[in-house]
Structure 1
Amino acid sequence: MELVPGIAVHFIQSKKFKTNKITVRFTAPLSLELISSRMINASILETANQIYPSAQLLKKRLAGLYGADLSSQAYRRGQSHLVDVSLTYVRDEFLSKKNVLTSQILELLNQILFSPLANAGEFEQNMFEIEQKQLIARLESELEDPFFFAHKELDQLYFQEPAMQLVPKDLISRISKETPKSSFSSFQKMLKEDKVDIFFLGDFNEIEIREHLEKYSLTARQQVVKIQYHQPYSNILNESFLRKNLGQSILEMGYHSSIGYGDEGQLAMLLVNGLLGAFPHSKLFTEVREKEALAYTVSSHLDLFSGRLRLFAGIDRKNRNKVRKLMNEQLVAIKKGEFSDIEIHQTKKMIKRSLLLSKDNQDSIIDREYLSQFFGKLGLDIHTLIEKLEQVEKDEICEVAGSLRLQAIYFMEGLE
């Protein structure tokens, strides 16, 4: 249901959960110029506002709403940047007072979005500085994780678009340069220009909800967003090497895929990833770690929104070339069809289990509803996906595996 152009309301009626969940999702094109301020804004939204001008007062209000939970997050999906603001609270059915809590939650949501703790066109200085410092500290802490650091270095090597590289040190520098005024200006831009989706998962009176939303200061906008990121394959193999004082070395390899989310070969590519390194029975685990004992940890990760398959392993530095060759050989084996029907069945079973578990996760349900705008509801229906998954045959797996080509290699040598 469209509230006004550019703002959609989604009702997912269900009594499956004891809680209702309301999520407001802002979507805008990925931009290096705005991502830092949007990350700060996400933190500020769940901290305080004009009505509850401190974190303590806001928490007290949430406690008074039968322990409602407020959360926010900022993240990338393909070539878009998303900011979520979510409120989760007990359904009326489990309360002594009926038909009151949702109204109070919507009033609080209105205050969070349209009465921010700001004055004269900028966020309150002290609150802003606290959130800014905490965000920088979190990112610096993540950079201390060698695998996180290596993943981001591979991003820089693999992606051609600067906004997709998201170099952490550059991001930290950008966040440190933000001011209460620049972030508030970005927040106003987000409110006025972003594509907005408001999700209601649970038990709701749709007429009453719409009446509440019409009181929100939401205006029409024309925002075109693209979730899927595509980049052409390059014949140039990008490689990088770094020495760090670590107990182990990390090898990362990025493979280019022409198959994206919603494409015909999507499920076959999920099976490639499952056979290769996503599960304990996968080839990387059984061959590289168990049989050859060449890796402390080894896995693969498929991002269908950016068209990349990432292989990574924690190893001894002396085994770099041996592991690199062996990991690539496991992918080549899948391309050649060197896997059994038992392996296919086991991999399908694991993916099916993951799909069925997502039916019991509120965030996953909301996310499917969001993605259905781009890929259609039928293509995201769990039972339809499982049916199609069961129909994928060996030659299809080999075919999509054959489309994967090595694009980037990163090696972090640990100095023991």
Structure 2
Amino acid sequence: MKHLTIEVARGIDLKIIQTDQFKNNMIVFNFTIPSNYQNFAKLALLAELLENASTVYPSEMLVSRKLSEMFGAGYGVTVLRYGNQHTLRIRLTFPQNQYLPNHTDLLAEAFSFLREMIEHPYANGNQFESSYFNVHQTNLVNYLQALPDNREFYSTLQLQKLYYASDLDQGHYLLGTANEVRNQDADHLYTFYKEFLKKAQISVIVAGQIDSEVVRNQLTYFATFSERNADDLSLYIRPQLPMKTREKTEVVPGSQSILNLGYRLPVYFNDRLYLAATIFNQIFGASTRSLLFTNVREKASLAYDIHSSYNSFAGMLSVQAGIDFEKMPQVIQTINLQLTAVVNGDYPDDLLIGVKNSMINQHRSQSDYLTTLVERQYLRQISGISYEDKQWESAVMAVTKRDIAEVAKQVHYEARYVLQSQGGQNETN
């Protein structure tokens, strides 16, 4: 495997990963700006508009037909948040030429397609085509209005909002709200997109059996790829949280309540204890062998389901559990006991060994996917942290119970959001 790094222009970087490990090639464009909640709905709607049509391909059917002509190429646009960075990602996957009739080389055609989709969205004059815009605006509004139906996800979003209190850039949902999407219009969003193309930092990653000269040459055809600000974008979220804990309960119809707990865990992706924090999360609640799953769900039967999550860009730990509302004090007490157990190292050695082995096996298995290769490369770029596989595995195996206890001692309770079922309220009353 060979890596090439090329600065296309100031603020536009190209990374080429030459490998024959996969049957497909992949091109990924990451357009990144600082996280600002006022842009969330705009980029979410833009992702829909850029994915489904362009000037040359003014319908989803024509886009699909073009992808079929490229031997079943896969194309998608999405929005992501890495800490304080807000990214619009455009990705195209297509077969390597050695697996195609007459060894057809799709690389130039792939870039031509992407240039069309990025630089020539389906517009009429200086605005997105109105009927097309209205359809996708309505679709996104409907999706956002239906979020409360997915109670686990909805309660996760509510905990996030509560945890960050008045910090809308972090507490706001990445796709915005239904009202924010509804307030967008075709001409203003088109103007925003043109400015976005000029200002966003761009990372291009191309992976597979790739001719680097063809890639470099194809990028020169992108008219919008001019120099722009190349200052480092802030990545890690180091919030100024309120001194008081925040707690909220919302009553909804249903038979099962959902408890969400938010904790400050100020250990970040590049910190000395990062891997210890990752292992802590697995031992505490992220795996089916964890203390929360074993002791809260299986032994005490206090939760229908329970798990923890750790965000290393935000320094945040969360716990979500499906519970009977009247048992909530007992659930919280039992969760706290599991955290104390980790602080004291009071868990089996074979749990620690099993978690480490599981992490290493998962890391190895994920390496068999081209998407993982590209994602790890992007994380290296935005964080400046690079681990070779063997180095990473050795670092995982070197983590001790003392390291994990040091992490657990830093966990600080900040927020609680409860989605209380109406049935649970009736039973309590």
Q: Same fold (TM over 0.5)?
A: yes
Letter of the 2:397 counterpart: E
- Kindly indicate whether the alpha-carbon contact (under 8 Å) linking 1:34 and 1:186 is maintained by their aligned counterparts in 2: no
How far off is 1:279 after superposition?
A: 0.8
d(CA) in 1 for partners of 2:148 and 2:85? Answer: 23
Separation in 2 of the partners of 1:385 and 1:186? 41
Pick from 332, 343, 350: which aligns with 2:358?
350
Structure 1, unaligned runs of 5 or more: none
1:291 matches 2:299: yes
Matched residue, 2:285? 277
1:134 to 139, 162, 180: 139
SS in 1 for 2:313: coil
Partner of 1:415: 422
Q: How many Å apart are 1:44 and its aligned residue?
A: 1.0
Give the conservation status (yes or no) of the 8 Å contact 2:40–2:174.
no
Q: Contact conserved, 1:369 with 1:377, CA < 8 A, in 2?
A: no
Residue 402 (structure 1) shift: 0.4
**1:243-301, Cα deviation, whole Å (9 max, x unpaired):** 11021001110110111112111000011101011111100010000100111000001
Other structure's SS at 1:412 match: strand
Q: 1:120 aligns with which of 121, 125, 145?
A: 125
Q: Take 1:163 and 1:144, find their aligned partners in 2: how far apart are those partners?
A: 24
- Amino acid across the alignment from 1:201: A
CA distance in 2, matches of 1:19, 1:345: 36
Do the aligned partners of residues 170 and 58 (structure 1) sit closer, same or farther apart at CA in structure 2, a change above 3 Å counting? Answer: closer
1:34 partnered with 2:39: yes
Asked if the contact 2:37–2:176 (Cα under 8 Å) also holds between the matched residues in 1, the reply is: no
Please say if 1:244 is aligned against 2:233: no
| Residue of structure 1 equivalent to 2:427 | none
Q: Tell me the distance in 2 between the aligned counterparts of 1:31 and 1:169.
A: 12
Give 2:150's aligned residue. 145
205 and 71 in structure 1: CA distance in 2 versus 1, 3 angstrom threshold:
same
Q: Flag the 1:170–1:63 CA change in 2: closer, same or farther, 3 A.
A: closer
Deviation at 1:162, TM superposition (A): 1.1
- Unmatched runs of 5 consecutive residues or more in structure 2: 1-5, 424-429
Aligned partners of 2:175, 2:84: CA distance in 1, in Å? 20
Q: Distance in 2 between matches of 1:102 and 1:16?
A: 17
- Whether 1:383 and 2:425 are equivalent positions in the alignment is no
Structure 2: distance between partners of 1:400 and 1:127: 50
Residue 168 of structure 1, CA deviation: 8.1
SS of residue paired to 2:113:
helix
Q: Does 1:16 align with 2:24?
A: no
* Paired residue type of 2:23: K
Q: 1:43 & 1:308 partners in 2: Cα distance? A: 30
Q: Give, in angstroms, the shift of residue 233 of structure 1.
A: 5.2
What displacement does 1:97 show?
A: 2.8
Measure, in 2, the Cα distance between the counterparts of 1:292 and 1:382.
39
For residue 223 of structure 1, report the CA deviation from its aligned partner: 4.6
**Which of 195, 199, 202 is the matching residue for 1:193?**
199
| 2:226 alignment counterpart | 219
Q: CA offset at residue 354 of structure 1?
A: 2.2
Select the residue among 399, 410, 414 that pairs with 2:406.
Answer: 399
Pair 1:172 & 2:195 matched:
no
Cα deviation per residue 1:350-388 (whole Å; 9 max; x = unaligned)? 21122222212222221211121233353x333221110
- Count of equivalent residues: 415
Q: What is the CA distance between 1:96 and its match in structure 2?
A: 2.3
Distance 1:2 1:99 in 2: 29
Q: Deviations over 1:158-215 (max 9, x none)?
A: 1142111115896221111001112212211221101101111111000111011111
Quick one: which amino acid aligns to residue 202 of structure 1?
G
Cα pair distance change 1:126/1:149, threshold 3 Å: same
Distance 2:142 2:98 in 1: 42
RMSD: 1.5
Tell me which residue corresponds to 1:5. Answer: 10
The alpha-carbon deviation at position 101 of structure 1 amounts to 1.1
Residue 135 of structure 1: CA displacement? 1.5
The one-letter code matched in structure 1 to 2:216 is R
Whole-angstrom CA distance in 1 between matches of 2:369 and 2:238:
29
- Structure 2 counterparts to residues 299-318 of structure 1, below 5 A: 299-318=307-326
Aligned identity (percent) is 25
How far off its partner does 1:99 sit? 5.3
CA 1:167/1:57 → structure 2, altered by over 3 Å: closer, same or farther?
Answer: closer
Q: Tell me if structure 2 keeps the 8 A contact 1:251–1:324.
A: no
Aligned partner of residue 46 in structure 1, secondary structure: helix
* 1-structure distance, mates of 2:50, 2:379: 24
